[in-house]
Amino acid sequence: MILTENLRGAGLMVVSMLLFAINDAFIKSLGGQLEVFQTLFVRTALVVVFLGIAVTWKRGWVRVDMPFEIRIIMWLRALTEVGAAYFIVQALFNMELVNLTAILQVLPLAVTLAAFLFLGEPLGWRRLLAIAVGFVGVMLIIQPTSEGFNSYSFHAIGGVICVTGRDIFARMMGRIISAQLMSLQAATMVLIFAFIAGYWEDWGPVPPTAWIGLVGSAVAISVGYVVSALVMRHGDIGYTAQFRYTGLLAALVLGYVFFDEWPNALTLIGAVIVVATGLFALNRERRAPKG
């Protein structure tokens, strides 16, 4: 099988979603041992160290001759990363997780439409249909309840907008700078945000048992940041976006294996739908004529 740009992008998307799900599992394993922003700060500090080493190792620091426009886009991408962290954390504090997750599943559609509107990327009806069918499967998995939505739903929508902007800005930057450096800048901005937001929390010493979860989370999300940046360099966004749904499947498996969270029948049906749409898209790409 020829590995097309779309297949590379899809593979990278699946890997990034798996890494983010592993990160969530490590954070969940902490069991509230630390305050939220302290957790975010310590974890992100480790991420900054890991990515700093990676950038130095690859000699990927910013070139002096980098165009001014690209520098602006770099900062805009970093700011959208901070915005996403803020909005999603606020929503996590104040609304049911299933409803927040439901809103975040709009991302494949949002990123695809934004790429069409701002980057002129192709938008075929088959890809839109595949994303929409996958969205139905996702709704069966998370089964949101109407009473769980409140005014903080707008914070979740803000998170969707910020993540969409982050991916579009990453696409606009192309391959001018390394994915490691792009991720390092975003992580540094999130670190500063977590430090400022943590001023209103009562921080304490980190328990020894918490370091396993923090280091595991930092490793997973460090690689996840880089891989998610690489996704925007391969394939059509309208094709790769639908594979974001695989993150929810990974969360289902991790929840079952490590937290004894058994999915119900509707959840399993939804998972089958998501897998089927992904396999259908992969099969179409494999059979498509190559020119």
pLDDT of residue 291: 43
Q: What's the 3-state SS for the chain?
A: CCCCHHHHHHHHHHHHHHHHHHHHHHHHHCCCCCCHHHHHHHHHHHHHHHHHHHHHHHCCCCCCCCCHHHHHHHHHHHHHHHHHHHHHHHHHHHCCHHHHHHHHCCHHHHHHHHHHHHHCCCCCHHHHHHHHHHHHHHHHHHCCCHHHCCCCHHHHHHHHHHHHHHHHHHHHHCCCCCHHHHHHHHHHHHHHHHHHHHHHCCCCCCCCCHHHHHHHHHHHHHHHHHHHHHHCCCCCHHHHHHHHHHHHHHHHHHHHHHHCCCCCHHHHHHHHHHHHHHHHHHHHHHHCCCC
285 or 176, higher pLDDT: 176
pLDDT tens-digit profile of 135-171? Answer: 888 788 777 776 667 778 888 889 899 999 999 998 8
289, pLDDT greater than 70? no
pLDDT of residue 137: 83
* Rounded Cα–Cα distance for residues 218 and 55 (Å): 16
Two tokens, residue 189: 């901005």
* Rounded Cα–Cα distance for residues 106 and 15 (Å): 20
State the average pLDDT for the chain: 85
81 or 62, higher pLDDT: 81
Lowest mean pLDDT among 54-68, 98-112, 113-127, 142-156: 54-68
| Segment 103-125 mean pLDDT | 85
Looking at residue 188, its amino acid is: T
pTM of the model: 0.83
pLDDT of residue 97: 65
92 or 276, higher pLDDT: 276
pLDDT of residue 91: 83
pLDDT of residue 224: 93
* Residue 15: pLDDT band with limits 50, 70, 90: very high
Query: Would you say 96 and 203 are in contact if contact means Cβ atoms under 8 Å apart?
Result: no
pLDDT of residue 287: 65
